[in-house]
């Protein structure tokens, strides 16, 4: 069964620092990959997704992620974080043709002003 690992459970950064959150998945076939964000008190929102094509995916709010098939990875990056990026970030994957997403355990990001 597919599984997703997020390496960091808690990350604390100062504003303007660069961010990279790790995500690895287990199944080596064709997959769809997602990053979701949950701001305090709000619902999950889609940050970006990868289905096919350019492995460097750009999402909303300056986030990007790179799909590296050989490493089974889909790490999330942002060159300069802001206080408003404080949130919990979830990596997710599904096998094409299956409706259900498999989520990682999430990474809580705290950006101090």
Partner 1 sequence: NAGVMQNPRHLVRRRGQEARLRCSPMKGHSHVYWYRQLPEEGLKFMVYLQKENIIDESGMPKERFSAEFPKEGPSILRIQQVVRGDSAAYFCASSEGVSTNEKLFFGSGTQLSVL
User: What is the number of residues in the chain?
Assistant: 113
Contact between 94 and partner 1 per CB under 8 A: yes
- DSSP symbols for 46-94: EEEEE-SS-SEEE-GGG-EEEEEGGGTEEEEEESS--GGG-EEEEEEEE
Total residues at the site for partner 1 (CB under 8 A)? 25
Interatomic CA distance for residues 64 and 57, integer angstroms: 5
CB of 14 to partner 1, least distance (A): 26
Nearer residue to partner 1 within complex by CB, 106 or 109: 106
Only one of the segments 15-23, 43-51, 54-62, 65-73 lies at the binding site for partner 1 (rule: CB under 8 A); that segment is 43-51
34, 43, 77, 96, 103 from 66: Cα distances, Å: 11, 24, 8, 19, 17
Q: Which of 52, 54, 70, 100 binds partner 1 (CB under 8 A)?
A: 100
Contact between 40 and partner 1 per CB under 8 A: no
Site residues (vs partner 1, CB under 8 A): 4, 6, 9, 32, 34, 36, 41-46, 49, 51, 90, 92, 94, 99-106
């Amino acid at each position: 069964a597919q599984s997703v690992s997020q390496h960091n459970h808690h990350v604390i950064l100062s504003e303007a620092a660069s961010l990279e959150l790790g995500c690895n998945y287990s199944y080596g076939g064709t997959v769809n990959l997602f990053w979701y964000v949950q701001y305090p008190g709000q619902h999950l929102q889609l940050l970006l997704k990868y289905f096919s094509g350019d492995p460097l995916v750009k999402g909303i709010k300056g986030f990007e992620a790179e799909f590296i098939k050989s490493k089974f990875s889909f790490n999330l990056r942002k060159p300069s974080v802001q206080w408003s990026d404080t949130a919990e970030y979830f990596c997710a994957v599904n096998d094409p043709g299956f409706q259900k997403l498999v989520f990682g355990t999430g990474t809580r990001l705290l950006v101090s002003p």
